[in-house]
């Protein structure tokens, strides 16, 4: 399989379980907001692969996509532990030659978009959010973001500051109902993104909805959106 070489240029801790990695790419790289890549890591004389969403937003010209960003949640997959604990700036990896996945944002979809994220599912939706914020300025976007605890909202500060600076952008945070610790005032609701939340937020029916999170969340939200009258073809997500 053809691959593209990248170099790790920066690593940051984003939450207790998520790290953010910036990659310098050595060839023009084409992708759409919301797509993912395969990341190939050579460890102990063998190569392992991790599928991971791009959080960066693509430039209009693929030749300007010289820096990519991903965010990786620690899990049982050995590559995630390696990236969290051992990977250092200067390390080189290989990635798939272009973005992959059939669910991504294009401006032809219209001027109203709603993103619904659960946990690390925010990563492809962040790419869409950033693209709409920075390039597609005729589009309005609302993000509903659910996490288990308040300290697990990856990119939370960026999202809040972006929404505060631009009326086109709205962000609503939800934290698990049984979370024991106090929650900050910018978290709007304890509990799941449910029918009551959708009703309270009065989300548009005539919009394109992008969902990413645990499979049960996707199933439940799809059913709720259909009950509200959102067309089936306007609800987008990938099942893994």
On whether both 128 and 231 belong to a single domain, the answer is: yes
pLDDT for position 65: 87
Count of domains forming the chain: 2
CA 9/CA 139 separation, integer angstroms: 32
- Kindly state whether residue 101 falls inside one of the protein's structural domains: no
On whether both 198 and 220 belong to a single domain, the answer is: yes
Segment 76-100, tens digit of pLDDT: 999 999 999 999 999 999 999 999 9
pLDDT for position 127: 98
- Kindly state whether residue 47 falls inside one of the protein's structural domains: yes
Q: Could you tell me if 57 and 68 are in contact, meaning their C-beta atoms sit under 8 angstroms apart? A: no
Residue with tokens 């439940």: 220
CA 91/CA 106 separation, integer angstroms: 33
> String of b and e for 133-164 (b: at least 16 CB within 10 Å)?
beebeebbbbbbbbbeebebbbbbeebeebbe
Positions in the chain short of pLDDT 70: 177, 179-180, 240
Strand pairing class (235-236; 208-212):
parallel
CA 151/CA 172 separation, integer angstroms: 15
Give the CA count within 13 Å in the CB-facing half-sphere of 19: 20
CA 2/CA 237 separation, integer angstroms: 27
Angle between helices 156-165 and 122-134 (to 10 degrees): 30
pLDDT for position 177: 65
CATH code of the domain in which 209 resides? 3.40.50.80
pLDDT for position 180: 65
Last residue of a domain, one of 34, 63, 95: 95
On whether both 230 and 115 belong to a single domain, the answer is: yes
CATH code of the domain in which 78 resides? 2.40.30.10
pLDDT for position 240: 61
User: What pTM was computed for the model?
Assistant: 0.95
- Which residues span the domain enclosing 31? 4-95
On whether both 59 and 135 belong to a single domain, the answer is: no
On whether both 138 and 113 belong to a single domain, the answer is: yes
Q: Is 238 in a helix, a strand, or coil? A: coil
């Amino acid at each position: 399989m053809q691959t593209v070489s990248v170099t790790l240029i920066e690593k940051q801790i984003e939450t207790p379980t998520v790290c953010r990695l910036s990659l310098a790419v050595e060839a023009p790289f084409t992708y759409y907001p919301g797509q993912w890549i395969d990341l190939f890591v050579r460890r102990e004389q063998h190569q392992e692969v991790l599928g991971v969403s791009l959080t960066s937003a693509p430039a209009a010209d693929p030749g300007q996509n010289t820096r990519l960003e991903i965010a990786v949640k620690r899990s049982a997959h050995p590559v995630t532990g390696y990236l969290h604990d051992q990977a250092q700036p200067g390390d080189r990896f290989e990635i798939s030659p272009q973005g992959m996945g059939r669910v991504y944002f294009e401006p032809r979809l219209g001027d109203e978009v709603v993103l619904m994220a659960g946990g690390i599912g925010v990563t492809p939706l962040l790419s869409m959010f950033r693209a709409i914020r920075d390039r597609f300025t005729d589009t309005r976007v609302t993000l509903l973001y659910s996490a288990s605890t308040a300290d697990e909202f990856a990119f939370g500060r960026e999202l809040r500051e972006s929404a505060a600076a631009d009326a086109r952008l709205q962000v609503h945070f939800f934290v698990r109902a049984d979370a024991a610790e106090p929650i900050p005032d910018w978290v709007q609701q304890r509990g799941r993104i449910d029918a009551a939340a959708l009703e309270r937020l009065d989300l548009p029916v005539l919009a394109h909805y992008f969902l990413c999170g645990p499979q049960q969340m996707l199933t439940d939200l799809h059913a709720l959106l259909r009950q509200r009258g959102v067309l089936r073809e306007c609800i987008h997500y990938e099942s893994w």
